[in-house]
């Protein structure tokens, strides 16, 4: 066998697409980071480390399986892991959840534009819905080219903003850790009513809902990769870059946690504290972040229902974009994040278990 082909432009494109999908409105606005990590204080760091380890596993696995199996449809990866019935359930469930995630993205864009520019939410949501729909019509290859470049840019700027909060308010972080339990922050998990235990469930839930985003999309990227090694490298770099940004933003928001309680877009507040100019730049980056996550989400739904290049594909794209925009306008952003992501995250955990079982069985069969 020859040496695996690794084209580094593809590796970084895959890594950028990985980051672009995960840094959507929940992460970009800070709501995700607040509810899943900041609300648990220092335990949130343990949660972020667990998220990194699991992303390294699931990201590499999705990409490698997509490369080897060459699924006709990216959603076939759920059949691969769960069989006809459980896999079939995930196939349909993931499409519903991904569509729900799409209108969360649109809602986040509207909330950001409303908070910073005073633009009514319905205008911002409508503009985002239209831009996403036109991009989805272009197809997967163009989507990767576009969002693959945006992903690293987003991660880099979030790291800068987070570092600002850490460097200039470092002494406030220990105080914030002690104060967080009394601030009434929304928690992604309160199952045990004990932050020293609930952080782990929050981290699992976080990976769970992200897996429902990543599964079909990464399988489709893996299919077009030159080798399994190229696919795995892309997933690895993407996971590491994303989690570095996650940890830095977490501590940055902790440093100003008193000021962002109840704020719809906490990360924008942190940017405003840095400088009005940076806040303007950051508001644009948040919107770009939402756009680059919303595009693959809507694409995943549409490609499950129609073939690219057909009239049906175009009509479904604009129809679903319009429906998602209407819902995004109607429901407050923070409530959407807390309800949709947390509920579906637990369903995603079962998929992780199915992946591990499948891996063990495959290795056992190979040893016989």
Question: Which region among 119-123, 203-207, 316-320, 347-351 has the lowest average model confidence (pLDDT)?
Answer: 347-351
For residue 193, pLDDT over 80 is answered with no
For residue 334, pLDDT over 70 is answered with no
Question: Which region among 66-70, 146-150, 289-293 has the lowest average model confidence (pLDDT)?
Answer: 146-150
Q: What residues contact 111, with CB distance under 8 A and at least 6 apart?
A: 25, 29, 121, 124, 264, 265, 333
For residue 192, pLDDT over 60 is answered with no
Q: Which two tokens stand for residue 213?
A: 């985003």
Q: Where along the chain do its domains lie?
A: 15-358
For residue 196, pLDDT over 70 is answered with no
Q: Quick: pLDDT tens for 238-264.
A: 999 999 999 999 999 999 898 888 777
Which class is domain 15-358? mainly alpha
Q: Give percent of the chain above pLDDT 70.
A: 93
* Average pLDDT, rounded, for the chain: 86
Q: Which of 320, 268, 304 is nearest to 102 (CA)?
A: 320
**pLDDT tier at 272, thresholds 50, 70, 90:** confident
Alpha-carbon distance 36 to 48, whole Å? 9
Q: Which of 29, 18, 1 is nearest to 112 (CA)?
A: 29
Q: Which of 149, 80, 46, 81 is nearest to 357 (CA)?
A: 81
**pLDDT tier at 318, thresholds 50, 70, 90:** very high
The pair phi, psi for residue 117, each rounded to 5°, is -105, -5
For residue 233, pLDDT over 70 is answered with yes
Q: What is the pLDDT of residue 44?
A: 94
Alpha-carbon distance 64 to 85, whole Å? 23
Q: Give percent of the chain above pLDDT 90.
A: 35
For residue 274, pLDDT over 70 is answered with yes
Contact status, residue 13 vs residue 145, Cβ threshold 8 Å: yes
What 8-state DSSP symbol labels residue 73?
S
Q: How far is C-alpha 265 from the geometric centre of its chain's CA atoms?
A: 16
Alpha-carbon distance 323 to 261, whole Å? 31
Q: What is the pLDDT of residue 187?
A: 79
What pTM did the predictor assign?
Answer: 0.82
Q: What is the pLDDT of residue 286?
A: 77
Q: What is the pLDDT of residue 25?
A: 62
For residue 91, pLDDT over 60 is answered with yes
């Amino acid at each position: 066998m020859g040496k695996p082909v690794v084209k580094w432009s593809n590796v970084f494109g895959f890594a950028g697409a990985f980051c672009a999908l995960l840094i959507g409105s929940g992460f970009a606005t800070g709501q995700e980071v607040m509810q899943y990590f900041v609300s648990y204080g220092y335990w949130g760091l343990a949660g972020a480390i667990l998220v990194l380890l699991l992303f390294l596993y699931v990201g590499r696995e999705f990409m490698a399986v997509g490369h080897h199996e060459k699924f006709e449809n990216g959603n076939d990866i759920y059949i691969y892991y769960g069989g006809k019935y459980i896999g079939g359930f995930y196939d349909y469930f993931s499409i519903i959840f991904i569509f729900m995630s799409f209108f969360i993205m649109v809602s986040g864009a509207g909330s950001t534009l409303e908070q910073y520019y005073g633009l009514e939410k319905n205008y911002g949501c409508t503009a985002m819905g239209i831009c996403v729909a036109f991009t989805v019509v272009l197809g997967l290859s163009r989507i990767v080219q576009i969002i693959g470049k945006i992903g690293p840019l987003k991660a880099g700027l979030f790291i800068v903003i987070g570092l600002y909060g850490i460097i200039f308010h470092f002494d406030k972080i220990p105080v914030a850790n002690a104060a967080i339990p009394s601030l009434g922050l929304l928690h992604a998990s309160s199952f045990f009513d004990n932050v020293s235990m609930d952080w782990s469930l929050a981290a699992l839930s976080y990976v769970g809902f992200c897996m429902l985003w990543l599964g079909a999309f990464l399988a489709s990227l893996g299919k077009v990769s030159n080798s399994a090694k190229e696919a795995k490298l892309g997933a690895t770099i993407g996971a590491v870059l994303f989690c570095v940004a996650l940890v830095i933003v977490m501590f940055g928001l902790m440093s100003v946690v008193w000021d962002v309680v109840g704020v719809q877009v906490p990360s924008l507040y942190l940017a405003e504290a840095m400088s009005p100019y940076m806040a303007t730049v950051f508001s644009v980056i948040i919107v770009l972040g939402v756009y680059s996550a919303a595009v693959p989400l809507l694409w995943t739904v549409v490609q499950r229902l129609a073939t690219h290049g057909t009239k049906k594909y175009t009509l479904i794209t604009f129809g679903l974009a319009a429906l998602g925009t209407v819902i995004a306008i109607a429901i407050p952003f923070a409530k959407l994040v807390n309800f949709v992501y947390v509920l579906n995250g637990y369903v995603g955990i079962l998929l992780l278990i199915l992946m591990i079982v499948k891996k063990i069985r495959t290795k056992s069969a190979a040893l016989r």
